[in-house]
Amino acid sequence: MGEPLLAVAGLTKRFGGLLATDQVSLSIPEGELHAIIGPNGAGKTTVIAQLAGEIRPDSGAIRFSGEDIVSLPAFVRSARGLARSFQITSVFREFTALENIALAVQAHAGHSFRFWRPARIDRALLGPASEILERVNLAARAGDPAAILSHGEKRALEIAMALATGPRLLLLDEPMAGMGPEDSAQMVRLLAKLKRDLTIVLIEHDMDAVFALADCVTVLVYGRVIATGKPDAIRANHDVRQAYLGADEVG
């Protein structure tokens, strides 16, 4: 097996008096889909932000593919193969869906000090971008501005942008946020497909999705890990049920 693809040890972050992340440790081998669950305000997004490089932890180590990445800025981590999607959709609203993805492809296609050829018709970008849109079932909306996409389509675009950077590890922050049952089911199918080729860290509230997809689950409460393990074990875990899933009173 060797070293895990992502190894987090003792991650800690304070915001003034608030301890947002409390000695969080994770070990994620390549190919695993690792879910992080927990009540609202547990600090899940904060952990993702630290893994992605948006926030600097106060202490702790983050090793990706054996490399210490704690002091690397977000764009460098992206180059290393770490991609992230946002909980609140964060795309380029004025660009079309295709342009959005093409830009993500462009980020990993060498430098961008090219001033002459129009990017809109650059086949080196459009080819891979169209493929990605196909993968997330957005090919039909390629020419539409991102601003007019439906919520579910925007969430799919979110994932597509992360995919387009050719990552080894996907950090997905509530991809199904605000989705109805149909869209959610479609997203689960998509994630199941992606699972085959990528390592995924998934934050989600949709428990059906989590237990359907996850190989391993970590439960975060008040910034602390209270349990890590296989989905069934977590489901049965007493502390987890108390804190999050709802204690099952028998009798």
- Residue 106 as a binder of other proteins (CB under 8 A): the answer is yes
Question: In terms of CB distance, is 119 or 207 closer to other proteins?
Answer: 119
Residue type, 92: F
Stretch in the footprint of other proteins (CB under 8 A) among 33-41, 101-109, 175-183, 224-232: 101-109
Contact yes or no for 172/203 (Cβ under 8 A) = yes
- For other proteins, give the closer residue by CB, 22 or 122: 122
Verify binding: residue 74, other proteins, rule CB under 8 A.
yes
> What distance in Å separates the CA atoms of residue 101 and residue 107, rounded to the nearest whole number?
10
Judged by CB under 8 A, the residue of 22, 30, 58, 122 near other proteins is 122
Residues 6+ apart with CB under 8 A from 111: none
88 touching other proteins, by CB under 8 A: no
Cα–Cα nearest to 6, from 32, 36, 43, 35:
32
Nearest approach in angstroms of CB 23 to other proteins is 26
Residue 114, SS3? coil
Q: Is 120 a binder of other proteins (CB under 8 A)? A: yes
Work out whether 52 is an interface residue with other proteins (CB under 8 A). Answer: yes
Is position 56 an interface residue for other proteins (rule: CB under 8 A)? no
Our CA angle for 86, 89, 95, nearest 5°, is 120
Contact between residue 235 and residue 53 where contact means Cβ atoms under 8 Å apart: no
Running DSSP on this structure, what letter comes out for residue 241? I
Q: How many residues bind other proteins (CB under 8 A)?
A: 40
List of residues contacting other proteins (CB under 8 A): 16, 52, 54, 73-76, 78-79, 83-84, 86, 90-95, 99, 102-104, 106-108, 112-120, 122, 125, 161-162, 164-165
